[in-house]
Amino acid sequence: MTGAKEHTGDYAHLAPLFGELAALPESDPKRAELRETLVTEHLPLAQHIAARFGNRGEPRDDLTQVATVGLINAVDRFDPERGSDFLSFAVPTIMGEVRRHFRDTSWSVRVPRRLKELHLSVSAASAELSQRLGRAPKPSEIAEHLGMTKEQVYEGLEASAAYHSVSLDEVRGGADDEVTPLRDRIGEEDPALEGVEYHESLEPLVRELPERERHILALRFFRNMTQTQIAERIGISQMHVSRLLSRTLERLRRRLQDEQNP
């Protein structure tokens, strides 16, 4: 992480802004402005981390985009009261985001570049539209937004089926020695699962799930949040939530069946 440290000095002047941001009430319009400044000014950090992960078969633009999402998450979650400085919080957060991108979104089959790009644009448009509309968009709305036909949108939505389904437990080589910030955020006791009455056979199986899957499962089936709401809460795309849920349910079903017919 020496690369990131070289830049520490460049960001020092931004540190007081976090205190200002934290001091502002939720409703203050200045919050958005400050948040944007913090994100924009820290962008080189995200780009720097994206560059480190370059040349691994993922287009640089995607990586920069993913790293920027990580940066935004870091800005939103950073608590200056905790005493640590922003960079030591942000770097692992951004790296975690990029690493998850590699783990979760590598394509299992050779998917044409056009289809990948279609999938990414549909995914990005969905996120933007849900934000704007305050609800999940319809394919027709995505089509209109992107200036595409509905058929192209279908194709983009369906392309996610070609994504690699690797378990998040599987650790790929590379930068895996860093902390996964998600682990810290969610921890062993998932707040979304508090007060949930478990079916007896289910509890041990849910406990075996990776944190993020467990959290998503809890939010969808015990907290009754929509996939779009979950996507926003966790900071990943709705399509990604969809994939993870589908995989988790399949895994639980399989395990429940194994228990019933040993």
Residue among 61 and 151 whose Cβ is closer to another protein: 151
Q: Residue 151 CA to chain centroid, in angstroms?
A: 27
Select 64 or 238, whichever has its Cβ closest to another protein. 238
- The residue (of 107 and 154) whose beta carbon lies closer to another protein is 154
Least separation, in Å, of the C-beta of 238 and another protein? 6
**Binding footprint of another protein on the chain (CB under 8 A):** 126, 133, 135-140, 142, 150, 153-154, 157-158, 161, 199, 202, 220-221, 224, 226-228, 238-239, 242, 245-246, 249-250, 252-253, 256-257
> Residue 147, by phi and psi: left (phi above 0), alpha (psi -120 to 50) or beta?
left
CB of 51 to another protein, least distance (A): 32
Q: What is the DSSP string of 129-192?
A: HHHHHSSPPPHHHHHHHHT--HHHHHHHHHGGGGB----TTS--SSSTTS--HHHHHH-SS-GG
Dist. CA 42–CA 36, nearest whole Å: 10
Residue 129 Cβ vs another protein, minimum distance, rounded to whole Å? 9
Output the smallest distance, CB 235 to another protein, in A: 17
Measured at the alpha carbon of residue 20, what is the angle toward residues 15 and 24, in degrees to the nearest 5?
150
The candidate with the shortest Cα–Cα distance to 67, out of 50, 48, 86, is 50
Least Cβ distance, residue 192 to another protein (angstroms): 14
- Evaluate whether 63 touches 46 at the Cβ level (below 8 Å): no
Report DSSP state, residue 45. H
| CB atoms closer than 10 angstroms to residue 232 | 17
Nearer to another protein, 91 or 239 (CB): 239
Q: Which is nearer to another protein, 77 or 135 (CB)?
A: 135
Under DSSP, the state recorded for 167 is -
Select 64 or 126, whichever has its Cβ closest to another protein: 126
Q: Residue 230 burial by CB count (10 A; 0-12/13-18/19+): exposed, middle or buried?
A: buried
What is the smallest separation between the CB atom of 114 and another protein, expressed in angstroms?
19
